[in-house]
Amino acid sequence: MVKVLQYATVTGADERTDIDWMLEMSLKYSFLEWGLLVGSRLGPRYPDWYWIRKVLNRFTDQQVVANFSLHLCSAPLRLLFGGEVTTVGSVFVGSLGDALLEFDRIQLNCSVYPYSEDEKLRTARRLQDHFLQHGAPVPEVILQQGSRPLDFQRLVGVAKLSVLFDTSGGRGLSGYTPAGRPGVKCGWAGGLSANRLVERLFCIREDVVVEPTDEQPIVEWWVDAEGKLRTGDDEDRLVPEAVEQYLERAAEFRATCSYLDSQGA
């Protein structure tokens, strides 16, 4: 029975990010997930849909299997909660197709909105039904939890539904690390970078990731880094060196955990 760091997510790549470098990183680190933000505006951290399609096409053309999650914010998120799944997908107009269907994980950055658990669950099902109607694999839907608490009892046992604990919202702020909940796949964000990453990951693994059970012998979890991987100035660029150091530390952590698990530790 083990706890597995499934993904180390890097959120906020945009048009200024070298796609060849992204390919190189995904080939080197199989656990890397690129979190692509979509919101009301374009600019730093928020690429346009054409660039997102370009990235997906390049990875397909190079036959590189990679992990991508789409993070919906502001206007696209509100459209989705308003029932407009097709409208969200239709931004991939014409020959671009519905690239929404190409994501295995879709995160709803809904923590700042007063949506009820019923609304969140209905929206997650509506989104997953959209995939089913188009013959696509059902995505994992991630609910972002900030300072507003979630009623976890409503989420236990709901298929393909996860929770990201994130009070930072991409600002690179460290804070309280909430405990995971049995029966709900969880991730953690906030102030993560290469600095003391292995130590922080072990703290998360030992203190807040739920213990495996006979019913759930493998517990998968993930972490998401954004603000601390950027320049921290008006340019707000993703810094390749910071990303590579973060991924290298995550790889060290995973290797150590694999060894400890093999020894029954």
Task: Give 36-52 pLDDT, tens digit per residue.
Answer: 999 888 889 999 888 99
Decide if 10 contacts 246 (C-beta within 8 A).
Answer: yes
Question: CA of 245: how far to CAs of 6, 23, 150, 242, in Å?
Answer: 18, 16, 33, 5
pLDDT in tens, 208-240: 899 888 888 999 999 999 999 999 999 999 999
Please give the pLDDT value at position 243: 98
Percent of the chain predicted with pLDDT > 70: 89
The winner for highest mean pLDDT among 10-14, 80-84, 128-132, 164-168 is 10-14
Q: Work out the number of other CB atoms within 10 angstroms of the CB of residue 190.
A: 25
Answer yes or no: pTM beyond 0.85.
yes
User: C-alpha 4: how far from its chain's center?
Assistant: 16
CATH of the domain at 12: 3.20.20.70
Percent of the chain predicted with pLDDT > 90: 58
Joined tokens for residue 82: 């308003």
Query: Phi and psi at residue 52, in whole multiples of 5°?
Result: -60, -45
Cα gap 168→145, rounded to integer Å = 10
Quickly state the pLDDT bin for 95 (edges 50, 70, 90). Answer: very low
Question: Considering its fold, how many domains does the chain have in total?
Answer: 1
Q: Could you give the dihedral angle defined by the CA atoms of residues 141, 6, 8 and 210, in that order, rounded to the nearest 10 degrees?
A: 80
Domain range for residue 46?
2-262
Decide if 57 contacts 66 (C-beta within 8 A).
Answer: no
Helix, strand, coil percentages in the chain from 3-state DSSP, rounded to 5: 40, 20, 40
Decide if 46 contacts 37 (C-beta within 8 A).
Answer: yes
Average pLDDT of span 76-88: 75
pLDDT in tens, 134-157: 899 999 999 998 767 777 778 777
> What is the pLDDT of the chain when averaged over all its residues?
87
Cα gap 47→39, rounded to integer Å = 9
